[in-house]
Amino acid sequence: MTILAGILMLGILVFVHELGHFCVAKLSGVKVLKFSIGFGPRLLSKQFGETEYMVCAIPLGGYVQMLGEGQQENGEQVQLSPEEQARSFAGKPVSRRIAIVAAGPLMNLIFPFVVLPLAYMVGVSLPAYLEQQPCIGYVVEDSVAARAGFEPDDCIVRIGDREVLSWEASDLALVAGSGKEVSVLVRRDGAQVGLDIPEDHAGIEGGQALGLLPIQEARVGSLVEGMPGAEAGLKVGDLILSINDEAVQSWYDLRRMIQIQGEGQQSFVVDRAGEALSLNILPKRSGQGEDLLVGIAPVREMVFKRFGLFAAMEAGFERSRELISLTVLFIQKIFLGEVSSKSIGGPITVMQIAGQAAQTDLASVLTILAFLSIQLGILNLLPIPVLDGGHLFFYLCEIVFRRPLSMRAREAAQKVGLFMLLGLMALAFYNDIFRLISGGMF
Question: What is the pLDDT at residue 226?
Answer: 86
Residue 171 domain-assigned? yes
pLDDT at residue 351 in the model: 67
Q: What is the pLDDT of residues 230-266, one digit of tens each?
A: 999 999 999 999 999 999 988 988 888 888 887 888 9
Same domain, 209 and 231: no
Given a cut of 70, whether residue 8 has pLDDT beyond it is: yes
CA neighbor of 216 nearest in space, from 260, 266, 255: 255
Q: Is residue 116 part of a domain?
A: no
Count CB atoms within 10 A of the CB of residue 429: 16
Q: How many domains does the chain have?
A: 3
> Which of 213, 238, 258 lies at the terminal end of a domain, its last residue?
213
Q: Are residues 134 and 208 in the same domain?
A: yes
Beta-bridged to residue 240, according to DSSP, are: 270
Residues 235 and 198 in one domain: no
Residue, of 432 and 249, whose pLDDT is higher: 249
Does 185 have pLDDT greater than 90?
Answer: yes
**Residues 243, 182 share a domain:** no
Local confidence band at 83 (pLDDT 50, 70, 90 cut-offs): confident
Answer yes or no: is 37 within a domain: yes
Is the predicted pLDDT of residue 203 greater than 70, yes or no? no
The answer to whether residues 229 and 265 belong to one domain is yes
Q: What is the CATH number of the domain that holds 279?
A: 2.30.42.10
Q: Going by C-beta distance under 8 Å and a sequence separation of 6 or more, which residues neighbour residue 356?
A: 2
Catalytic residue flag (residue 73): no
Please, what sign has the CA dihedral across residues 325, 327, 333, 339?
positive
How high is the pLDDT of residue 337?
Answer: 67
Q: How far is residue 18 from each of residues 13, 53, 103, measured CA to CA in Å?
A: 9, 12, 9
pLDDT for 409 = 81
> Could you give the maximum distance between any two Cα atoms of the chain, in Å?
89
Same domain (yes/no): 229, 291: yes
Per-residue confidence (pLDDT) for residue 45, from 0 to 100: 92
Q: What is the pLDDT of residues 9-24, one digit of tens each?
A: 888 999 999 999 999 9
Q: What is the C-alpha to C-alpha distance for residues 86 and 28, in angstroms, rounded to an integer?
A: 11
255 and 189 in a common domain: no
pTM of the model: 0.70
Provide the β-strand partners of residue 64.
35
Would 76 be classed as within a structural domain? yes
Q: Are 168 and 239 within one domain? A: no
Which residue, of 48, 64, 85, is where some domain finishes?
A: 85
**Residues 158 and 228 both lie in one domain:** no
Do 250 and 227 share a structural domain?
A: yes
Domain assignment of residue 437, yes or no: no
Verify that 199 and 231 share a domain, yes or no.
no
Neighbours of 351 (CB within 10 A): 19
Between residues 84 and 170, which one has the greater pLDDT? Answer: 170
Which of 298, 327, 355 is the endpoint of a domain? 298
pLDDT tens-digit map of 297-340: 998 888 888 889 998 998 899 889 888 887 887 777 777 766 66
Amino acid at 334: I
pLDDT of 412 > 90? The answer is no
Q: Which residues contact 184 (CB under 8 A, 6 or more apart)?
A: 148, 156, 158, 159, 194, 195, 196, 197
Instruction: Indicate whether 371 belongs to any domain.
Output: no
Residue 312 lies in a domain: no
- Domain span including residue 207: 130-213
pLDDT the model gives residue 432: 64
In a domain? residue 242: yes
Q: Are residues 182 and 253 in the same domain?
A: no
